[in-house]
Amino acid sequence: MLTIDEIRNISFRKATLSGGYRAEDVDAFIDEVIATFEQLKKEKTNLVHKIDRLATRVEEYRSDEETVRNALLTSQKMSDACIKEAKERAAKIIRDAEEKAQGLLVDANRATALEKENYLQLQADAVNLRGELIELYRNHIKAIDELPTNADFEERKKEVDAKYPTEPLPAPVPAAPVDEPVYTPEPAVQPAPVATPAQAPVIGPAVALTEDDGTKVAPRRPTKFGHLKFGDNYDVSAE
């Protein structure tokens, strides 16, 4: 294949002395030029196809790049939204924790103030009670001081003896002992014997009974059914 420099610098053999060129050289050169141009045309066509394929790929890459860019932008937006939401949640959690801690601190301070007030009130009540007890003891001591002493008693006794003289009283005569009646308990009354089924009922005079305190009760006559027993709460005594 010829190059541009070879075409530009080509030289033919002269056919005659008058300056003509040999036809076979010119034809050979023309054939080479045609072959060269055909080769260049083929290469140009191939290059055009390659350029088209490359342009198509470039467009695909650009489309893919746009898609990737949009995906990256979407991911970035989602990431920013997630980060923003996480920051807002963290801020809310911190704010709630601070409010709760502040509330607990206020409640603890209020409880401490209340306990302090109760303690001080107890101290004040104790002080008041101490003053009242001291005042009460002072009144008691004052009342005790106003009571007469042994010296006052002796002085008053001398004054009374001097103002109202009396003779000494005789010694008291002991009283004679008084005989007390002796209590004799009455003999206990034996209950009437209860007849057994093998024995005949005994019918006799009614016996007067007395309670433990001496009260008399109505006599009960023995009956022919006295030997029968039907229970603790059932009485078949026929009058």
- Read off the pLDDT of residues 21-51 as tens digits, 9 standing for 90 and up: 667 777 787 778 888 888 888 888 999 999 9
Residue 178 above 80 pLDDT? Answer: no
For the beta carbon of residue 191, count every other beta carbon within 10 angstroms. 8
Measured on CA atoms in the order 87, 92, 98, 101, is the torsion positive or negative?
negative
Question: Across all residues in the chain, what is the average pLDDT?
Answer: 76
DSSP codes joined into one string, 193-226? PPPPTTSPPP----EEEE-TTS-EEEEE---TTT
- Angle (nearest 5°) at CA 168 between 163 and 169: 120
DSSP for residue 181? P
| C-alpha dist (Å) from residue 93 to 9, 44, 80, 103, 185 | 88, 70, 20, 15, 99
CA distance 20 to 29: 15
pLDDT of residue 157: 86
Instruction: Look up residue 80 and give its two tokens.
Output: 């920013």
